[in-house]
């Protein structure tokens, strides 16, 4: 009987992987090449597939098979991977069953409306226009928490939401880590602010004498993607407004890029970021294909793979020692710009207002501000109407800058309008994982920096494939990080990395 | 009750239109941008959706609703459009029911295999390698005819296959038309062959001193597409090996183009061909959206819309009087080439071996050869093993050329390998419709040629929208052609068009 139940589960998971592929393709196509006038039709097609996914996931035969294999006797007889699979499926199906369909529909309608309200308020630079809908979104999220944890067993209601994105993480675990992180970054930032270079250093690349034509930027992004992912038959790149990566199927990963004519580093680092995500998708074990284990355990771990490439590799001096001559050939106006000046320019520290445009050093402060606010929102310590004031206070306090308009302040990110509470912390957690992994990979290979200088970056991909990607969802993020680094999550490696990089950049002696 | 049945039908047709959109997107994406390594996965996804479409189309509730509305009492109460809809649905469902699922599966497997065998035989230039499979395909087609017409009521078994592509057409109707067409073209061709210019005229554009960079060709194709379809928000263009057009949904039509560096007319005329198809898809009545009437009645009528643009418009002297100066700006090496020489070059007549590379004059001969052969194949007058010999004889007889290898002879087209018997004649029928429509539009607007010379081609689109596209499948091809031209299908307008165009081009006096 176990065999038959497993067969049933395989069949449903395969169907889900086809539907997932279609859903991802509909989205990717919409963001890249779909004609503008087709938005409403595409929304209907996507909704149709979402419903099919929901129905398939909650098909009675599927649930029965999962339940049967979840009972103690059968469960023990399963392979380790199948145990993990059943555990996840059981958990997700139970979660799904707890939330009434009516709530799901109400939520889906509201967030679609809410998104439009957010766009409108953002365009009009008027936060108030968004508040009534945001309040409703928060209330529905609170209702969802109630459905999932009716007895209030969780230490913090926000933990219930975290579980969707970063399973295993809780407010209790995050709070001290983020405190240390915040304190550490602010300390470094203050030192930098007092340094001489800070007062004089400029974003040289913004000088209009340097030319970065769009076609060449696209060529460069392709070059970097192929350097990072030599198996070019398994992915493709297109343009979209916001860069992102999605897996269609096992051998089909899609990246997007966006070009800003006078900010060449935007397409460059965002591409290396996305190509890091793509490595993860393409590195999962073949044995996991078309099963629910062909996935990452948490969003934060996925993010660590993009950030390690975006920051530790492609913003490093080592990398540019290898790549800058090639880069200069692509953009001949850079001929007169020295590597040192280029490197300083692409690593300039400047507290700013917008998360997706900020520097590497201050990035996590932007994330922590959102985490602190949404945590209090879900704990009902603050209300939607308090957000803007608190937001501005925190930006002033942590970063020393003051938002001048909502689109560069509290309305800058799409997440809350779509009800994505619990997502933001994964950006910072991913950053911390990336530093832990970077520390370890340099211990495992003492020659790595030298290799990077020569353009030999294959070791990094192979190491990450072996230590992270291949596991898919067969282990938890905590297990994977522990196996790779022998540590549990901590902010220290990241803070040390920042000091090692930015103190020399700003002539600071510890 | 009628209302409820109609509601059921609307629901199923909407679901079918979503599934159709997804199926079309999967195909389009595969041909344009999908990573190479994903072929096998994509085949599975497409097969999955095909099965869903089949299941939905034959859902019992759907069939019951159609049957209920097909009975005399209810049928009379329906609107004209709904009557047409029900008639089509009833016919298609009945047809579907007549063919056992086992046969469908066998056929699907065989044609997939057969495609590979064809590719292999073509690569190896060995027709024999393909014959055993082709024989099996023909036998399955004969079996299908038996299922659909068990008592052999049809005048000719080939009529049963024609019905899938050109409803209303029969061997009895086609034979005399194609005879006249064949005779007429050969007559014109012989006159041209005896003319002076025929002996000296060369394909000037192939001269390597003229440069047609790929990016510029793509720019030009975009320009032409926008000229023909000013509503640029409703379609998009990408590159593929073979140009094609597909509708994803009402406001989402996809074209593809292919560039050959030293044959600029390939991308040009194939794009205007595809943009003609696109006009059809985008011109259907809004009231038909998401119903089975949002479709063309026959493949031949669709083809007429592409050929009128490809030939009557964008291969005409009038059009190039307007466009050639722009074209020269795009390709500055053409500066020294006179319009007259350019025009003669793009309309050169030269009997050749390959249908998709041939000239406008001889195109239909290529089609008629295929028609004559496949008709006899289905009538079991000849066998698969006879095809190559017969093919070569006919090419010699009609065109005066001799295939030198199978890939430029009997193995050149994909259709037979996929079991598409009955499709080929639509290419010539479409060509005949296009000439009939072209004659009529010039009667309706005596100023049209003058307008085209000035680049004002909007009248053509508007006329075709009104006379053809808007109807969707609410009328038959015969009805639509009759309404537009007051004629039934005939080869005369096309033959006259050919004489009017090619006699002056080759200094022939009638």
Interface contact B22-A22, CB threshold 8 A: yes
| Interface contact flag, B249 A29, Cβ < 8 Å | no
- pLDDT level of residue B315 (50, 70, 90 thresholds): very high
Q: How far is CA A374 from CA A354, A356, B276, in A?
A: 17, 18, 53
User: Taking CB atoms and an 8 Å limit, are A45 and B235 in contact across chains?
Assistant: no
Give the C-alpha distances (Å, rounded to integers) separating B4 from A72, A75, A78, B11, B55.
Answer: 50, 48, 50, 11, 21
Please report how the helices A39-57 and A101-124 are oriented relative to each other, as an axis angle in degrees rounded to 10: 150
* CB pair distance less than 8 Å for A250 and B26: no
**Looking at residue B156, what is its pLDDT?**
98
Instruction: Of A374, A444, A441, give the one whose Cα is nearest residue A141.
Output: A374
pLDDT in tens, B140-152: 999 999 999 999 9
Q: Is A490 exposed, middle or buried (0-12, 13-18, 19+ CB in 10 A)?
A: middle
User: In chain A, what residues touch B21 (CB-CB under 8 Å)?
Assistant: 41, 45
For the sheet with B252-257, list strands across it: B235-239, B252-257, B245-249
| pLDDT (tens digit per residue) in A238-291 | 999 999 999 999 999 999 999 998 899 999 999 999 999 999 999 999 999 999
DSSP state of B404: S
Mean pLDDT of chain B: 96
Q: According to the model, what pLDDT value does residue A482 have?
A: 98
pLDDT of res. A108? 87
Sole residue written with tokens 């031209």: B485
Nearest-by-Cβ selection for A22 from B45, B231, B252? B45
Element (H, E) at A236: strand A235-239
For residue B109, the model assigns a pLDDT of 87
Q: How far apart are CA B121 and CA B140, in angstroms?
A: 21
- Distance, in Å, from the CA atom of B281 to the CA atom of B20, rounded to the nearest integer, reads 14
Domains and CATH numbers, chain A: 2-156 (no CATH), 157-510 (1.10.1370.30)
Tell me, what's the pLDDT at B261? 86
CB contact under 8 A, B42 and A235: no
- Partners of residue A54 on adjacent β-strands: none
* CB-based contacts of B458, cutoff 8 Å, min separation 6: B230
CB contact under 8 A, A37 and B253: no
pLDDT digit string, tens, across residues B351-407: 999 999 999 999 999 999 999 999 999 999 999 999 999 999 999 999 999 999 999
Structure confidence by residue, pLDDT tens digits, B73-110: 999 999 999 999 999 999 999 999 999 989 988 998 89
Put simply, whether A26 touches B (Cβ < 8 Å) is yes
Smallest CA-to-CA distance from A48 within B25, B34, B415, B505 is with B25
Q: What is the 3-state secondary structure (H, E, C) of B233-268?
A: HHEEEEECCCCCEEEEECCEEEEEECCCCCCHHHHH
Q: What is the pLDDT of residue B272?
A: 97
CA dist B434 and B439 (Å) reads 9
What percentage of residues in chain B have a pLDDT greater than 90? 96
Helix-helix angle B39-57:B80-98, to 10 degrees: 110
Minimum-distance CB partner of B233 among A36, A40, A252: A36
3-state secondary structure of A252: strand
For chains A and B, CB pairs below 8 A equal 93
CB contact under 8 A, A238 and B33: yes
Asked if A478 and A301 count as a contact pair (C-beta separation under 8 A), the reply is no
Give the ipTM of the model, two decimals please: 0.93
Pairing status of strand A235-239 against strand A252-257: parallel
Mean pLDDT by 10 residues, chain A (510 residues): 96 97 96 94 92 94 98 96 97 94 89 90 97 97 97 97 97 98 98 96 93 96 96 96 95 96 93 98 97 97 98 98 98 97 97 95 98 98 97 97 96 95 98 98 98 97 98 98 97 98 94
Name the nearest CA neighbour of A243 among A223, A265, A226. Answer: A265
> CA distances (Å), B220 to each of A392, A493, B54, B233, in order?
51, 55, 40, 18
Residue B510 has pLDDT above 80, yes or no: no
**In the numeric block, which tokens belong to residue B456?**
């004002």
Other C-beta atoms within 10 Å of A376: how many? Answer: 16
User: Residue B428, exposed/middle/buried by CB under 10 A (0-12, 13-18, 19+)?
Assistant: buried
- Contacts B22 to A, Cβ<8 Å: 22, 26, 45, 49
Q: Which of A15, A41, A253 sits opposite B252 (nearest CB)?
A: A41
- The encoded tokens of residue B160 equal 């049963």
Which DSSP category does A235 fall into? E
Tens of pLDDT, residue by residue over B261-285, are: 889 999 999 999 999 999 999 999 9
Q: What angle is formed at CA A277 by the lines to CA A272 and CA A283, rounded to 5 degrees?
A: 115
Q: Which residues contact B408 (CB under 8 A, 6 or more apart)?
A: B353, B354
Round to whole Å and give the CA distance between B348 and A444: 69
Which chain B residue has its CA at the smallest distance from A236's CA? B35
Out of A274, A281, A303, A372, the active site residue is: A274
Interior/surface letters B75-112, b for 16+ CB within 10 angstroms, e for the rest: beebeebbbbbbebbbeebeeeeeeeeeeeeebeebbe
Residue B324 in tokens: 């050639």
Give the nearest partner residue to A252 out of B25, B41, B250, using CB atoms.
B41
- B252 vs B17: CA distance, rounded Å: 13
* B385-424: burial string, b at 16+ Cβ within 10 Å, e else: eebbebbbebbeebbebebeebbbbbbbbeebbebbbbbb
List CB contacts (< 8 A) between A37 and chain B: 231, 233-234, 251-252
The reply to whether A249 touches chain B by the CB within 8 Å rule is yes
Nearest CA in chain A to B19: A45
B253 touches chain A (CB under 8 A): yes
CA distance B211 to chain A (A): 21
pLDDT value of residue A111: 87
Residues in CB range of B4: below 8 A, 6 or more apart: none
- Print the SS3 string covering A358-392: CCCCCHHHHHHHHHHHHHHHHCCCCCHHHHHHHHH
Work out the average pLDDT over B117-138. 96
pLDDT given at position A105: 86
Section B156-180 average pLDDT: 98
Q: Rounded to the nearest 10 degrees, what angle do helices A39-57 and A2-32 cross at?
A: 170
Q: Which of the 8 DSSP states describes residue A311? A: I
A340 phi/psi in degrees, rounded to 5: -60, -45
Q: Which of residues 400-439 of A touch B (CB under 8 A)?
A: none
Nearest to A266 by CA among A380, A181, A187, A346: A346
From the list B37, B231, B236, which residue is nearest A34 (CB)? B236
Residue B252 contacts A, CB cutoff 8 Å: yes
Q: Which are the catalytic amino acids of B?
A: 274
């Amino acid at each position: 009987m176990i065999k038959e139940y497993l067969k049933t589960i395989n069949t449903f998971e395969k169907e889900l992987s086809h539907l997932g592929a279609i859903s991802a393709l509909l989205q990717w196509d919409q963001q890249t090449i779909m004609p503008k006038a087709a938005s409403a039709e595409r929304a209907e097609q996507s909704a149709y597939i979402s419903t099919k996914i929901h129905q398939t996931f909650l098909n009675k035969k599927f649930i029965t098979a999962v339940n049967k294999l979840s009972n103690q006797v059968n469960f023990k007889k399963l392979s380790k991977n199948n145990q993990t699979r059943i555990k996840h499926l059981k958990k997700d199906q139970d979660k799904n069953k707890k939330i009434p369909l009516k709530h799901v529909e109400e939520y889906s309608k509201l967030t679609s409306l809410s998104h439009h309200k957010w766009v409108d308020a953002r365009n009009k630079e008027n936060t108030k226009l968004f508040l009534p809908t945001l309040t409703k979104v928060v209330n529905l999220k609170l209702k969802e928490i109630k459905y999932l944890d009716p007895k209030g067993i969780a230490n913090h209601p926000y933990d219930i939401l975290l579980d969707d994105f970063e399973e295993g993480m809780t407010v209790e675990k995050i709070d001290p880590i983020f405190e240390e992180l915040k304190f550490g970054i602010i300390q470094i930032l203050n030192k930098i602010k007092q340094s001489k270079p800070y007062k004089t250093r400029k974003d040289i690349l913004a000088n209009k004498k340097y030319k970065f034509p769009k076609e060449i930027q696209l060529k460069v992004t392709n070059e970097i993607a192929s350097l990072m992912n030599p198996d070019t038959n398994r992915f493709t790149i297109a343009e979209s407004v916001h860069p992102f990566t999605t897996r269609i199927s096992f051998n089909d990963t899609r990246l997007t890029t966006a070009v800003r004519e006078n900010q060449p580093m935007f397409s460059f680092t965002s591409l290396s970021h996305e190509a890091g995500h793509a490595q993860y998708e393409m590195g999962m074990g073949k044995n996991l294909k078309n099963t629910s284990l062909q996935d990452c355990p948490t969003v934060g771990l996925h993010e660590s793979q993009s950030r390690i490439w975006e920051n530790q590799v492609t913003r490093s001096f080592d990398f540019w020692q290898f790549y800058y001559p090639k880069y200069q050939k692509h953009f001949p106006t850079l001929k007169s710009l020295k590597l040192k000046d280029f490197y300083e320019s692409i690593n300039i520290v400047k507290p700013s207002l917008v998360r997706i445009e900020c520097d590497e050093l201050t990035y996590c402060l932007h994330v922590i501000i959102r985490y602190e606010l949404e945590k209090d929102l879900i704990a009902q310590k603050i209300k939607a109407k308090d957000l803007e004031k608190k937001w501005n206070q925190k930006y002033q306090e942590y970063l020393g800058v003051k938002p001048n308009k909502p689109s560069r302040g509290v309305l800058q990110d799409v997440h809350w309008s779509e009800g994505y509470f619990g997502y933001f912390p994964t950006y910072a957690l991913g950053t911390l994982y990336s530093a832990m992994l970077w520390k370890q990979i340099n211990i495992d290979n003492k020659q790595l920096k030298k290799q990077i200088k020569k353009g030999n970056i294959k070791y990094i991909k192979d190491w990450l494939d072996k230590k992270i990607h291949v596991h898919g969802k067969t282990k938890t993020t905590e297990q994977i990080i522990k196996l790779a680094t022998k540590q549990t999550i901590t902010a220290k490696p990241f803070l040390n990395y920042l000091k090692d990089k930015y103190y020399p950049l700003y002539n600071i002696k510890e």
